[in-house]
Amino acid sequence: MIFRNLRILDKISLMNLSLKLLDYGNLSSNFLLLDKFRRIFILILYIEKTYKMKIAVGSDMKTHVTQKVIDWLREMGHEVTLYGALEEPGAMWSRVAIEVAEKVAKKEVDQAVLFCWTGTGIALAANKVKGIRAALCNDAETARGARLWNDANILAMSLRLVSEQLAKEMLDVWFSTSPSDAGEDLACLEYLSEKEKTL
């Protein structure tokens, strides 16, 4: 999971360093070993480079934190689409939330990050859309739990509470945590899906 968050150039440097270490270990004559090692790294680089997600980012305000989040997501290799005040001024949080949530529900994007002053309004509005599990998170552990146990597909943040560093920590765990495959966790999500059909 950590490997995914490295930039491509960092991965290439890591590969070259590892190959040099093999050389220093008197293994340079073992062409097959070096070739296999190189092929594994190239395969990982290919997978990681092609593992790009479409991420929608929306907010009713444009701030330093929202811009940093956009920059980080792009550095991670994701395709980022902007909504609300991030695209043009004068956006309502309710409209931004519904617009972004519908993109996620229709699978036009893979995941989303939403902001408003408290984070509460934008999360509430996003959760009005069927199939959406927007989680308001103010720390990394909550973000990790939202992905792990709730299979949350929208990360909502408070512009009042979340600092640049905290936002980075939450993004890191959000995109490096996979949903649980434990029976109890799957049963809870299945129950929600079934109930949602009757609403």
Q: What is the pLDDT of residue 7?
A: 44
Which CATH number does 54-176 carry?
Answer: 3.40.1400.10
**Is the separation of the CB atoms in 104 and 154 below 8 Å?**
yes
Which sequence spans correspond to the domains of the chain?
3-50, 54-176
- pLDDT of residue 54 exceeding 60, the answer is yes
Gap between the Cα atoms of 194 and 134, Å rounded: 18
**Is the separation of the CB atoms in 58 and 82 below 8 Å?**
yes
Q: What is the pLDDT of residue 90?
A: 85
The pTM (predicted TM-score) of the whole model is 0.76
- pLDDT of residue 76 exceeding 70, the answer is yes
pLDDT tens-digit readout, 153-194: 999 999 999 999 999 999 999 999 999 999 999 999 999 999
- Is 188 labeled as catalytic in the residue annotation? no
Secondary structure of residue 15 in the 3-state scheme: helix
Q: What is the pLDDT of residue 155?
A: 98
Instruction: Please tell me which residue in 57, 116, 123, 155 is annotated as part of the active site.
Output: 116
